[in-house]
Amino acid sequence: MEKISLDNKTILVTGAAGFIGSNLVLRLFKEVNGATIIGIDNMNDYYDVRLKEYRLSVISTEAERSLDKLGMTNGNAWKFVKGDIANRDTIDGIFAEYHPHIVVNLAAQAGVRYSITNPDAYIQSNMIGFYNILEACRHNPVEHLVYASSSSVYGGNKKVPFSTDDRVDNPVSLYAATKKSNELFAHCYSKLYNIPTTGLRFFTVYGPAGRPDMAYFGFTNKLLKGETIQIFNYGNCRRDFTYVDDIVEGVIRVMQGAPERKNGEDGLPVPPYAVYNIGGGQPENLLDFVQILQEELVRAGVLPADFDFEAHKELVAMQPGDVPTTYADATALERDFGFVPKITLREGLRKFAEWYKEYYQ
């Protein structure tokens, strides 16, 4: 593994107004010195754009604080580009102007169910967009490309916990298929062009200012309106929930450790390529999750203490594209980077509930 310092580097984060991307940028401002951080996001309306604008405003505030605290010489510069990674000219222009040393590709059309009805968005962003990133890395001296894959690639895998050694040739959604294609594309470019790439298979990420299409966020919105929430597979679902701060900690550690460039016995480059699971390693039953969520929503004052939860819950069958269990075997990430998630589900949902109260009410 090649150690990389992030100080005084130019770092490109795609999907910078997204949930994980914005939290990553915030952490970089707090922990890195003298970096130029480039963010790109197309600001699409897959969910409320105001939430993305809110995240960007928080980043701008942190960027100003970084300059004030460290001084102009050691502070981090922030550049935001409103653009789409599926636009080749946009990506080539960013690389030509800023020459990023490290690229973190988090821009993607997310969501399993949306991919069933709107496949075009997934082909454009997740495949063409990622191809554009790879091509730009090919023609520029990039030290490390880190990119988002997904636990969805495991499909209906019945063996748990999910290991990166498992076969993942049978995706059950187009979203999963595009994420597996990212790993294949990355391996090819690592092999052909000696580009160090690391894919991270994210498991259900949650936290403040998250995606409204995620269950915990959607449940909260519906309960607040007095609507009924649907719990799929009659509650017999388990998810490996990972708090966003833990995810970002893992991403930053991985950014600083690129797969080593080296030659094999045949004298040809061995692909500097790696894929890791990044998850909590502790799957939670969906009914238990909902119970903790409702307790924390009451505690934060989002919902009244006498709210009748039982009257607002409905157990329903599994939806197409969903899987009953996600469970990360993240031992490789712990072995190579010392990464162990620390934030419990209750602690994380408490932070979400407190943020929700402040933001919406």
Report the alpha-carbon distance of residue 359 to residue 189 in Å, rounded.
42
Report the alpha-carbon distance of residue 147 to residue 76 in Å, rounded.
22
Q: Which residue, among 236, 209, 211, 201, has the nearest Cα to 322 in the 3D structure?
A: 236
Q: Which residue, among 70, 204, 184, has the nearest Cα to 130 in the 3D structure?
A: 184
Cβ pair 332, 164 in contact under 8 A: yes
DSSP state, 62? H
Concatenated DSSP letters of 83-103: --TT-HHHHHHHHHHH--SEE
Q: Residue 188, Cβ neighbours under 10 Å: how many?
A: 15
Q: Tell me, what amino acid is at 164? A: T
Cβ pair 21, 13 in contact under 8 A: yes
Report the alpha-carbon distance of residue 289 to residue 278 in Å, rounded.
20
Report the alpha-carbon distance of residue 234 to residue 240 in Å, rounded.
18
Report the alpha-carbon distance of residue 14 to residue 22 in Å, rounded.
10
Q: By three-state DSSP, how is residue 152 classified?
A: helix
User: Which residues are within 8 A (CB) of 324 and not within 5 positions of it... i.e. 6 or more apart?
Assistant: 233, 236, 237, 238, 318
Q: Tell me whether residue 175 is one of the annotated catalytic residues.
A: yes
Report the alpha-carbon distance of residue 199 to residue 276 in Å, rounded.
6
- The DSSP element (H or E) to which 105 belongs, if any, is strand 102-105
Residues 98, 131, 147, 175: which is the catalytic one? Answer: 175
DSSP state, 262? E
Report the alpha-carbon distance of residue 178 to residue 86 in Å, rounded.
14
Q: Tell me, what amino acid is at 77? A: A
Cβ neighbourhood burial of 296 (10 Å; 0-12, 13-18, 19+): buried
Residues annotated as catalytic (active site), given as ranges: 175
